[in-house]
Structure 1
Amino acid sequence: MSGNKAVVYEGPGKVEVHDTDYPGFELKDGPGVNPANVGRKLPHAAIIKSVATNICGSDQHMVRGRTTAPQGLVLGHEITGEVVETGPGVEYIKTGDLVSVPFNISCGRCRNCKERKTGICENVNPDRPGSAYGYVDMGGWVGGQAEYALVPYADWNLLKFPDKDQAMEKILDLAMLADIFPTGFHGCVTAGVGPGSTVYIAGAGPVGLAAAASAFLLGAAVVIVGDLNKERLDQAHSFGCETINVAMGDPRDQIEQILRVPEVDCAVDAVGFEAKGHGREASEERPAAVLNTLMGITRAGGALGIPGLYVTGDPGAHEEAAKHGSLSIQIGLGWAKSLSFATGQCPVMSYNRQLMMAILHDRVQIAKAVNATPIPLEQAPQGYHEFDEGAARKYVLDPHGMLAKAA
């Protein structure tokens, strides 16, 4: 093989599909690649033919110019595909396997990986623990919104589907295993969602919807989703969620109308650092608004799952402190209520096998919940634009037409 096509960030508000290099078993220099990673040999890697590769809200932060992502960065960290080549150090993954790729890149050998904390692997990003494909400051591993992608430590990272034909029948659902389904599930698990729980989820984007579906899977009695976008709230309502339009005022009052009490057992932040205010401030950016609201509406002794992305630097922030990752958090309120907080990347490998089985055996319809919508790779710029405009869809790129054929 000699060619490849990929989705490339070309500056704030602009992505394009370019001809790029076919992956090789060595990490080469390029936009965003950490100099300490250049020349890194990858005999343990596999080359994946992308069957599905998704557009994520985390990608949108970069495309909006809210990070220091360099021009020319190949985007994408949600990859599902077929193995077409393996390095000489790969023992168990075979050519032809259909696999899910966790968005966390991890080595399987460091202390954190051995403790299943794969979101903070110590060996793949020279700058700090934690890495991902196609993402700023994550070591420079090439993104997966492409026809072909490279996965290091393949025996460790790849989740093989047991039966290819069965998997292709549910491929849109399985495509959510790379990130948003485990991420939403992680948010709920760390918030303490269980049978009979009342749950508030801030944000009705794909991660929020995945968290809502996860809450039901975990046995929640009531799942309330809050957002500003009516179309996305309607999508949440379509599979049994109660909904709150936070533009109408304080979520606390609306929660009381639903539950007869103004608080929930568990809360999940699926918004992150580009949060807006509530009520009269709904059109203004308030990066701490969601976190402070969740502390206010969660019962004393409860927990907050925070899979929403927060960054150490936001050059587009409206507040000076927020440009350096500092937010006006009411930590005293959280302390007084003895709340627990769980932050950081979801360790996908802690959940993806179980969630795969739930999909394969019809315990959840995650693609329907998030309104997964396949589009050709060439339409990626349009997909990014529509997603940024608030479309209630999870856009799934179909580089080889395999999703269309399966449908």
Structure 2
Amino acid sequence: MANKAVMYMGPGKVEVADLDYPGLELKEGPGVNPANVGRKTPHGVILRTVATNICGSDQHMVRGRTTAPERLVLGHEITGEIVEKGPDVEFLEVGDIVSVPFNIACGRCRNCKEGKTGICLNVNPDRPGSAYGYVDMGGWTGGQAEYVMVPYADWNCLKFPDRDQALAKIRDLTMLSDIFPTGYHGCVTAGVGTGSTVYIAGAGPVGLAAAASAQLLGAAVVIVGDLNADRLAQARSFGCETVDVSQGDPKDQIDQILGTPEVDCGVDAVGFEARGHGSDASREAPATVLNSLMDITRAGGALGIPGLYVTGDPGAVDDAAKEGSLSIRLGLGWAKSHAFTTGQCPVMRYHRQLMMAILHDRVQIAKAVNATVIPLEEAPRGYQEFDQGAAKKYVLDPNGLIPAA
């Protein structure tokens, strides 16, 4: 059976190319860990992809800021219809529509049993944690394709209760695979609750998802900071206050909004490609956001850090940053008794609850992130526009299954 997929073809280049139809076994391919080749997955399912999204994490690879190999199949945000299931799958059926967490987890190891599904011990031979279509994550084929295999399906897949309802709300439900739980995790770990004041660094899709999450959690004021005017306008469209960090230190603008230069909770939705503030906004300064958040988060507060930081960045501004070493003012964070939470979001900790919030109209996450549906063939355009700062979350429709808006 034919299968087309979005592939990374070198810095700045993606193409839609032919790919083998997936089977229930890992085969050799770009980025596949040799120790995973031949691994059988009778516990897996084959999905016909309903929706798969372009993520800022994908964009890091496409910019050439990781060690991703050419022809790596991209995509870790997957929602699909089961068309085939392995003999060990008990609780899912052909025809079910499911959301797939971006982190691959076995459900059997110590970390999975403790709910730490972002750092499963059994799916990546190199280190804890894995994801579809991502560099150094074990080599599981990405989901920006017409068909994709999902292992440990009974554990990993979140089944939607009603097919028609799922398709009607697919623009929202597709965000459950990554950015909605990731933004929510950033807020939960930052301590957002009723009446909180929150500063979110970054108005990309994860930052906007975090802002919507903060509202869902009962924040009194949600402030979003960025350099991009269109993205800041998108944040204001659903009730956020905004800070243009190109105008200087966010502290002064926060003071104007709140009457105090500090917030209760800080969220880093930018990551390792951060830029400076004010006159330094044109240059990359990877520690800027973390240091700024420590400065503007009150003593005793917390920082949620869903923004991506990597151990290998060939395009970094200095040798230290190339291996993920940043000049962070840890002494400031220590002096203010800050708590820090980093790493992949354990999607399964949140996705069922967030699904219920979507299905019962408690949140409109697609509207918050400006979900924009395009065909799989237009993925290269989506990547290009997203890289240029479009205030959109691009949703790919590989099989023409997403209903018209």
- TM-score normalised by the shorter chain: which range applies? over 0.9
1:130 aligns with: 129
1:180 aligns with: 179
Q: How does 1:97-112 map to 2 (within 5 A)?
A: 97-112=96-111
TM-score by length of 2: 1.00
Cα distance between partner residues in 2 of 1:140 and 1:300? 42
Cα distance between partner residues in 2 of 1:215 and 1:364? 11
Cα distance between partner residues in 2 of 1:387 and 1:155? 34
1:376 aligns with: 375
In 2, are the aligned partners of 1:168 and 1:406 still within 8 Å (CA)? no
2:193 aligns with: 194
2:251 aligns with: 252
Cα distance between partner residues in 2 of 1:29 and 1:286? 38
Corresponding residue SS for 1:224: strand
Corresponding residue SS for 2:30: coil
Corresponding residue SS for 2:84: strand
- Residue deviations 1:209-241, cap 9 Å, x none? 000000000000000000000000000000000
Percent pairwise identity: 80
2:231 aligns with: 232
1:92 aligns with: 91
Residue identity in the other structure for 1:324:
E
1:69 aligns with: 68
Q: How does 1:201-350 map to 2 (within 5 A)?
A: 201-350=200-349
- Residue deviations 1:325-380, cap 9 Å, x none? 10000000000000000000000000000000000000000000000000000000
* Shift of residue 164, structure 1, vs aligned partner: 0.7
* Shift of residue 406, structure 1, vs aligned partner: 4.7
* Shift of residue 401, structure 1, vs aligned partner: 1.1
Cα distance between partner residues in 2 of 1:170 and 1:74? 27
Residue identity in the other structure for 1:132:
A
Cα distance between partner residues in 2 of 1:219 and 1:398? 33
Corresponding residue SS for 2:272: coil
Over the aligned positions, Cα root-mean-square deviation in angstroms equals 0.5
Corresponding residue SS for 1:303: strand
Cα distance between partner residues in 2 of 1:298 and 1:393? 28
1:49 aligns with: 48
Count of equivalent residues: 405
Corresponding residue SS for 1:265: strand
Structure 1 gap ranges (5+): none
Cα distance between partner residues in 2 of 1:54 and 1:167? 16
Residue identity in the other structure for 1:382:
R
Cα distance between partner residues in 2 of 1:181 and 1:49? 22
2:146 aligns with: 147
Corresponding residue SS for 1:85: strand
Cα distance between partner residues in 2 of 1:169 and 1:95? 20
In 2, are the aligned partners of 1:193 and 1:218 still within 8 Å (CA)? yes
- Residue deviations 1:94-149, cap 9 Å, x none? 10001000000000000000011000000000000000000000000000000000
| Residue 78 (structure 1) aligned with residue 77 (structure 2) | yes
Residue identity in the other structure for 1:346:
C
1:357 aligns with: 356
1:171 aligns with: 170
1:115 aligns with: 114
| Residue 396 (structure 1) aligned with residue 395 (structure 2) | yes
Corresponding residue SS for 1:124: coil
Corresponding residue SS for 2:290: helix
Residue identity in the other structure for 1:262:
P
In 2, are the aligned partners of 1:169 and 1:406 still within 8 Å (CA)? no
Residue identity in the other structure for 2:106:
C
Corresponding residue SS for 1:244: strand
Cα distance between partner residues in 2 of 1:15 and 1:246? 31
* Shift of residue 167, structure 1, vs aligned partner: 1.0
1:29 aligns with: 28
- Residue deviations 1:245-293, cap 9 Å, x none? 0000000000000000000000000000000000000000000000000
Residue identity in the other structure for 2:45:
A
Cα distance between partner residues in 2 of 1:53 and 1:389? 20
Residue identity in the other structure for 1:275:
A
* Shift of residue 156, structure 1, vs aligned partner: 0.3
Runs of 4+ in 1 over 3 A off after TM superposition: none
Residue identity in the other structure for 1:352:
H
* Shift of residue 3, structure 1, vs aligned partner: 1.4
- Residue deviations 1:188-220, cap 9 Å, x none? 000000000000000000000000000000000
Residue identity in the other structure for 1:58:
S
Cα distance between partner residues in 2 of 1:272 and 1:264? 20
In 2, are the aligned partners of 1:217 and 1:364 still within 8 Å (CA)? yes
* Shift of residue 169, structure 1, vs aligned partner: 1.0
Residue identity in the other structure for 2:341:
A
Corresponding residue SS for 1:273: coil
